[in-house]
Amino acid sequence: MSFRFVDLFAGIGGFHGALGALGGECVYASEIDKAAARIYLRNWGIEPEGDITLAANDTTMNVPDHDVLVGGFPCQPFSKSGKQKGMEEARGTLFWNIAKIIEIRKPKIVILENVRNIAGPRHAHEWEVIIQTLRELGYRVSSKPFVVSPHRIHPSFGGRPQVRERVFIAATRLNRTTGKLHEEPQLPSREQFEANWDSKKWKLAKDLPLDPMTAKEKASLKLSEAEIEWLDAWNEFLQIYRGNNAGKNPPGFPIWVDDWIHTKNLKIPRGTPKWKENFLRKNSELYSANKKVLDAWLKKYNNLSHFPPSRRKFEWQAQDAKTIADTILHFRPSGIRAKKATYVPALVAITQTSIIGKHKRRISVREAARLQGFPDWFDFLDQREAMSYKQLGNAVNIGAVYNVIKSLVIRDIDLLSKYPELTKAILGAPNSPDNQLMEFKSHSYKERTNSTTIFQPRLVDL
């Protein structure tokens, strides 16, 4: 292998997949969740250590030497009371343990990943501490968030039809005088892997792809009779609305049946938030303009009284899609949302797993794994599907990591050119990690029994 990496807060191994495809060798992994660690071991052949706070602290450093440190770290609040804004203020948080590893092992590259809000106003202090700490430790790092989502990445660079905006903190060791530590560098460029791609061109059926279902899968993924009734009712609403409005699409604001009242009877309670007042007025106007046909629709479905409250809410974001069968759907706490069948929202959990409108089923674990860039040989063993969905919802997208690290090396080639094996491996790797992952078989994978199923993608029409 041309470089060594450590994988912190490793989950089921999204970072491992990306760096392995770049030619790296994992020399250490940590993951405190035993179920995720079990899947990591099965697929990557390395058993993660548990609590990182026991492996890296003031008295212990069990993390070996390495060239690249990666991790999707949890972010706890840092104290705002002290004057320190760097490493000492991070003490007591998991980021401090990462910083200790960086301080002692001095990796050439550090890639950290977190949710979009880590760089938002609510976490401005934490963000400042993280950037300040990395600079104190001797790293070139931008104070601006490097936001990457797989749906914006060109398919030939490992993109996937999933909106998943994540912030990457990409840092390179300076080995220069301290006078350079606080210079503000440009962010790594997204141009190479986002150029000439329109995310609206994704076609979920062929680009994921979707699989035809076995009888067992159909039974576990199909919608219930109640869920089908909800969709049938709202599909009928869609056709009624268009029929009464010269073919126009329904409005994009949330439609709240429980708040349908004629405008002449509308009374907004004092103290109602402006956003809610706006939606109440819009729903009143919608109902008043279509009262006759909507009353008939409501009567047919008993005013939706047997629907849960959240299923009496509907949000049409599918523009000119003809029917609900042409959409991707989500049963959200805030209502049913319909989007065009291009790309899906970020994976979160089984309760909000994307629903394929045409097939009236949820996406499978295998399809969810593809959305995160995991190869089709990736094995979830015998664990419950709900656990696999959860792990995938917590995973980092492989294609996003792969392109982030390549872009960082391009930006900092002046610092990294002294490490030819590292730079040659990363910059010489193909545009996409997909082929390497399909060919890559870890030690664990090679030893699997012949009974292990190797999944192969099969196309199906949406």
User: Using alpha carbons only, what angle is made at residue 128 by residues 127 and 134, rounded to the nearest 5 degrees?
Assistant: 90
**d(C-alpha 132, C-alpha 127), whole Å:** 8
List of residues 6+ apart from 308 with CB closer than 8 A? none
Is 26 an active-site residue?
Answer: no
Tell me which amino acid residue 202 is. W
**Catalytic residue (one of 68, 75, 371, 398):** 75
Cβ neighbours for 328, distance < 8 A, ≥ 6 positions apart: 204, 338, 339, 340, 341, 342, 344, 354, 355, 356, 357
Can you spell out the DSSP letters for 42-53?
HHHS---BS-HH
How far CA 25 is from CA of 56, 332, 377, in Å, comes to 20, 40, 19
Q: Which residue's structure tokens are 């004629």?
A: 262
Contacts of residues 49-52 at CB distance under 8 Å and 24 or more positions apart, as own/partner, are 52/8, 52/9, 52/94, 52/97, 52/98
Tokens of 129: 């501490």
Which residues make Cβ contacts (< 8 Å) with residue 337, sequence separation at least 6? 314, 315, 317, 329, 330
Instruction: Give the separation between CA 352 and CA 365, rounded to whole angstroms.
Output: 13
Instruction: Give the distance from CA 414 to its chain's centroid.
Output: 32
Q: Residue-wise over 109-141: b if at least 16 C-beta within 10 A, else e?
A: bbbbbbeeebbeeebeebbebbbbbbbbbbbbb
Which of 433, 452, 364, 348 is CA-nearest to residue 43?
452
List residues with catalytic annotation. Answer: 75
